[in-house]
Amino acid sequence: MATKNKQVEQLKEMLPQYLDILGVSTKGSFKCLNPNHIDKTPSMSFDAKDGRHVHCFGCDATWDIFDLIAVNELKSPVIDGPDGKPKVKYNFPEAYNKALQVLNVDDMPMAQSEHKQPENERESQLRAKVDKVNARVVKNASELLSTSAFNQKKDPTPEQRQSHELGLKYLQKRGLSLEIAERFKVGFSSNWASPTAILKGHKPQGTPRLIIPTGPFSYIARDSRDSIPEGEQSYKKMKEGPVHIFNEEALSKNQPIFIVEGEIDAMSIMETGKAEAIGLGSVANINLFMKALYKAKNKAKAEQRDFYPTLLVALDNDDAGNRAINRLTTQLNRANVTNYVVQIARGSKDANEALVKDRAQFTKDIENTLKDPDNRLQGLLDYINRNEEVEAIPTGFSNLDKVLDGGLYEGLYGIGAISSLGKTTFALQIADYIAQYDKKPVLYFALEMGTYELMTKSISRITFENAQGEETLAQGTRSLLKGKWKQRYNKAQYANVMQSFKEYGDFYSDVIIHDGSEARPTIYDISETVNSYVARTGNKPVVIIDYLQILKPTNERGTDKANVTTSVNEMKKIATRYHIPVIVISSFNRLNYNSPVSMEAFKESGDIEYSTDVLIGLQLKGVGTNDFDVNEAKRRMPRNVEAVILKNRNGATGNTLQYAYYSMFNKFLDMDSMEEPERQPQEARTQVDDEGRVFSSTKEYREYLDQE
C-alpha cells in the first residue's frame, strides 16, 4: 500500500506534463477545463506554489491530475460537491490506470523525484548506495552478455553461464546483434531484482532481464520472459536511477536521427546500419528530450559549429503517441529544427517487430524514409483513401461553394482585403453557417476584436435576416452593445432581437472564440490550442485566424516578412496534420485601395500566395476605373463587394463573385445566386445607425454623415 501511495503522489507531481499534453501552458490563465463551465474569458490557472492542482476563479473548480484524466480521457461527469464546488465523479482505480497509460509511466515502487530531491540525509545515503549498486549491475550484466568479456572469466558460476546463454538467445529473438549490444554496453541478468527495493528492505522476486544503460547510474531492466503473469505486467519494464534519454549523444552530429519511444526500437533502427536513433523511454519525457536538444545546440554554438540535425519522429501510432507527436513537432518547430513525422513500422506494432518480421524489408523502409521523409507515394495513397468519403463543408455562400467544388476541404484558405471592407464579417458569417447548419465546431482566433464584439456582430446579422426587409427592426453592433433596443424601440423590434438571441444561442457554443486582442498569441500558441482541442474532444474543427499581420512574432529579432512566413507555414501544417480547413485573414496596405485586387497585394504577406491552397481577394466593385472613389464606394448601403478567386489549387481561378455588403448589419448577401430581376441590391430605404438613430431615407442618412 505504501508503494502504491508513493506512485499516486508521483503521478500528482506530473500534472504540468499532462497539461503540456493537453496543450495548456502552466504560465498564465487558460480556458477552464470544466466541460460544464462555458468560460468566455480564461479563468483557470495552474497552482505553481502547490504544483498539483489547477484552480478556476470562475466556477471554483480545484482539480488534480486524476480529476483532469477522468474528465478528458474517461469523459466522467462533473457534479456539484457537498461544498457547492464542481466535483468529478469517477472510479479512482480506473483514473489511476488511465493516468499510467496516458503518461506512459510504469507502476514501479520508486518515485523519480526521490533521486532529485532527497528528503533527508538517510534518503541521500540510500541514493548514493543505489547509484553504486546500479553502476555495478550495468558493468556485471554487460560483461556477462559480451562473448569476449565472458570468455575471459576463469570460473563462471552456473548463474553467470545462464545469464550469458539467455542473453544471447534473447538478443537473437529481438533481432539484435552482439555488436549493437556491446556498443551501448547492454547486458543481461538471469535473476535481476530492483536494487532500490532491496535497499529499502523489500524482497522482490528475481526475474531474467535485459539491462539497457541510459546513464552512469541508470538503466532499463526489461523482462525477457515469453509469458509474464498478469499481476507482473506493470513491472515488465522497470527504470532504475534518474531518467535519461537513450543515445542522446547522437544529437552532437548533423545527421538524420529517428526519434522513437523504446530503447529496443532505437537499437532496431541502428541495427540496419543506415541511421542513428534516440529512444525517449516515454512520451512523458519530451521536455527532457528538448533540454538535451538545446544543450547540444548551445554546445555547437559555443564550439562555433553548425547545428542542423534532421529529426524523423516515429512514435507509436496510438492516442498517446499522436498527442506526443503534436507536442514534440510543435516544440521542434519553435526550435527551428528540421523534422518529419514518419511511419517505419507499417503493418507492425513497432520498429523491433518490423525488424524481426522482415529485416530486409525493414532496412529498405529505413532507406526509403531517409531518401523521402515525407513518404510521398504512401502519403498519396493515404490521402486518396481519406478523401474517398470526404464531403465538402459548405460556407453558406452558394456562389463560393460552387467555385470551391462544394465548399471547404483540407487546406489553407487565405482571404485578403483593404481595411474596413468586411474581411472579419465575411469569415465570421462562414463560421456561423458552419456551426449552425453543418453542425461542425469552429475555432475562431480573434486578434483584433474582442469576444463580445464578435458575438454581437453575429446577432446583428441575424436581426437583419429576421427583419425580412424591415430595416428598422435590425440592429447594429453598437446599438446591441449599448442595449438601446431595450428602451427606444417598439415591441416588434424587441421581439426580433430576442428571437435573434435565441437563434444564436442554439449554435454559438460551436463557434469557439479565442480572444487574443490583448495577449496576442504566436502561431505556435494557436497550434497548441488546436492540438489540445482535438486531443480533448476528438473533434476536428475548422480553424479561422483573424488576422495574419498582428500575430505575435515567433522570433522577436526576425523581420516582419520572415515571421509571417513562419506563421503561414505552421498554419499549413495544422491543416495537413488534422486534415481540416484553416482560414487566415490578411490585410492589404494603402497602395491597394484604388487598385484591383491581385496576387501582388499579398506580396508583403510572407509566403501566403505560395502556401495557400485557395486565395480570395475582396474588393469594392469598380475599383481601378477612372471615376472610382473608394470613400464614396464605402459609404454605399449596401456596398457592392467582389470576391476574386486569385488562386484555387484544385479548381478554376479568375472567378469574380458578387456580394451586397450591409456593413451596418454585418451581412454579406450572395448576389450571384439571386434571380435576375433582383441581382442589383436596392438602396436601403430606412437606415438605422450604430447609435440607434432612425433615418427615413438613404439621402437623409448621407446628409447626416456629411455633417459629422
Q: Are residues 596 and 533 part of one domain? A: yes
Closest to 209 measured CA to CA, from 187, 231, 181, 185? 187
Q: What is the pLDDT of residue 418?
A: 84
Q: What is the pLDDT of residue 241?
A: 85
Residue burial 14-41, b: 16+ Cβ < 10 Å; e: rest: bbbbbbbbbbbbbeebbbbbbeebebee
Q: Are residues 355 and 472 part of one domain? A: no
Residue burial 331-367, b: 16+ Cβ < 10 Å; e: rest: bbbbeebebbbbebbeebebbbbbbbeeeeebbebbe
The domain spanning residue 126 has which CATH number?
3.90.980
Please count the structural domains in the chain.
4
Report d(CA 476, CA 481) in Å as an integer.
9
Among 244, 272, 293, residue at a domain's last position? 244
Q: Are residues 307 and 161 part of one domain? A: no
Q: What is the pLDDT of residue 675?
A: 54
> How would DSSP label each residue in 353-419?
HHHHH-HHHHHHHHHHHHH-TT-HHHHHHHHHHHHTS---B--S-HHHHHHTTTSB-SEEEEEEE-T
Q: Are residues 504 and 611 part of one domain? A: yes
Q: Are residues 588 and 652 part of one domain? A: yes
In a domain, 493, yes or no: yes
Q: Are residues 475 and 363 part of one domain? A: no
Q: Are residues 293 and 193 part of one domain? A: no
Q: What is the pLDDT of residue 56?
A: 86
Contact 70, 95 (CB under 8 A): yes
In a domain, 108, yes or no: no
Q: Are residues 677 and 587 part of one domain? A: yes
Q: Are residues 318 and 293 part of one domain? A: yes
Contact 568, 548 (CB under 8 A): yes
The domain spanning residue 383 has which CATH number?
3.40.1360.10
User: Could you tell me how many residues make up the chain?
Assistant: 708
Dihedral-angle region of residue 108 (phi above 0 means left; psi in -120 to 50 means alpha; beta otherwise): beta
Q: Are residues 594 and 568 part of one domain? A: yes
Q: Are residues 122 and 96 part of one domain? A: no
- Look up the domain containing 384 and give its range: 253-389
Which residues in the chain come in under a pLDDT of 50?
1-2, 107-119, 676-680, 682-698, 701, 704-708
Among 227, 244, 261, residue at a domain's last position? 244
In a domain, 109, yes or no: no
In a domain, 261, yes or no: yes
Q: Are residues 513 and 421 part of one domain? A: yes
Tens of pLDDT, residues 59-80: 888 999 999 999 988 888 888 8
